[in-house]
């Protein structure tokens, strides 16, 4: 069996594809209020505003291209058993070629109704308009996990992390829970790398590699893959 590699990614991975992060100087939550745009309360108060915000993000994400770091992560599948666990709602991992991707916070490319049914509809880059309904007749909303809603795939993700032989955490401030708690499932003696531009605190046992993902990640994955040769 090939070694198992787990990648846990965040918005910094897509920053060099032109998509904004959340908390940096130019972060989305500096300019916009997450309470208004990423919560069930905000959706009840002004759905039009929420739809516009996600329609714009979806359009930008669909116009963006995967970068060298996304591609290097996809290439790992040639050498390892790879699971990508992402907080990102874009589809740049998939478009780079990664085949096993768990989206903890939902996906821009899907919509769902607002009733009890949880059926998802693939919309890709298309906008969701007010008045557009699902089969049950309820308003369509982005299939995104908002604050106060349940993070997806946590059990499966924790299983991957606890079985990993190598872990790469990339482009996340690890400030949103429960996603950030996944690093705690890593076994003590495996190689654990964290790449971001800066980090307030690095989880125990992780080696911090500061710098741009498009530089650091291909270098790291080349080393890991070379070790297998
Ligand atoms: P943050 O904005 O909190 O953190 C982005 C991280 O990426 C920071 O550590 C940056 O240093 C790093 N970074 C920025 N550019 C980079 C680059 N070119 N190369 C490498 N690292 C870079 O974003 P997330 O941790 O993804 O949730 O945020 C987590 C969640 O908070 C999101 O999924 C979203 C948000 O609220 C929901 O909407 C539910």
105 is catalytic: yes
Determine whether the shortest distance from the Cβ of 168 to ligand 1 is under 6 A: no
> What would the pLDDT profile of 93-146 be if each residue is shown by its tens digit?
999 999 999 999 999 999 999 988 778 999 999 999 999 999 999 999 999 999
Residue 227 confidence (pLDDT):
64
Q: Which of 131, 144, 125, 121 is nearest to 28 (CA)?
A: 144
| Residue located nearest, by CA, to atom 13 of ligand 1 | 12
The full DSSP string for 166-184 is EEEEES----STTGGGGGG
Q: What is the mean pLDDT of residues 168-195?
A: 97
- Whether 11 is in the pocket of ligand 1, judged by its Cβ within 6 Å, is yes
State the closest ligand 1 atom to the C-alpha of 106, by its place in the atom list counted from 1. 39
Q: In what order do the strands lie in the sheet with 166-170?
A: 101-103, 81-86, 4-9, 166-170, 191-196, 207-210
Say whether pTM exceeds 0.85: yes
DSSP state of 76: G
Instruction: Give the active site residue among 70, 93, 103, 105.
Output: 105
Distance separating alpha carbons of residues 204 and 157, to the nearest angstrom: 19
| Residue 23, ligand 1, Cβ within 6 A | yes
Is the Cβ atom of 16 under 6 angstroms away from ligand 1?
yes
Q: How far is the CA of 136 from the centre of ligand 1 (A)?
A: 35
Tell me the per-residue pLDDT of 147-179, one tens digit each, with 9 for 90 and over.
Answer: 999 999 999 999 999 999 999 999 999 999 999
């Amino acid at each position: 069996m090939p070694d198992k590699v787990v990648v846990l990614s965040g918005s910094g991975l897509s920053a060099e594809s032109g998509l904004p992060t959340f908390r940096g100087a130019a972060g989305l939550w500096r300019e916009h209020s997450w309470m208004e745009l990423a919560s069930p309360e905000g959706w009840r108060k002004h759905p039009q505003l929420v739809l516009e915000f996600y329609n714009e993000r979806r359009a930008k994400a669909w116009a963006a291209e995967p970068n060298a770091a996304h591609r290097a992560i996809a290439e790992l599948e040639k050498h390892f058993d790879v699971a990508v666990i992402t907080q990102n709602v874009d589809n740049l991992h998939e478009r780079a070629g990664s085949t096993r991707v768990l989206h903890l916070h939902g996906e821009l490319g899907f919509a769902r109704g607002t009733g009890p049914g949880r059926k998802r509809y693939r919309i890709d880059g298309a906008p969701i308009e007010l008045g557009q309904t699902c089969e049950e007749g309820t308003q369509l909303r982005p299939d995104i996990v908002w604050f106060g809603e349940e993070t997806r795939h946590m059990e499966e993700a924790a299983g991957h992390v606890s079985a990993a032989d190598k872990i790469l955490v990339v482009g996340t401030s690890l400030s949103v829970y429960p996603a950030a708690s996944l690093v705690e499932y890593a076994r003590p003696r495996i190689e654990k790398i964290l790449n971001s531009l800066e980090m307030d605190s690095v989880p125990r046992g992780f080696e911090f590699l500061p710098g741009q993902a498009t530089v650091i990640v291909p270098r790291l994955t080349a080393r890991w893959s070379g070790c297998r040769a």
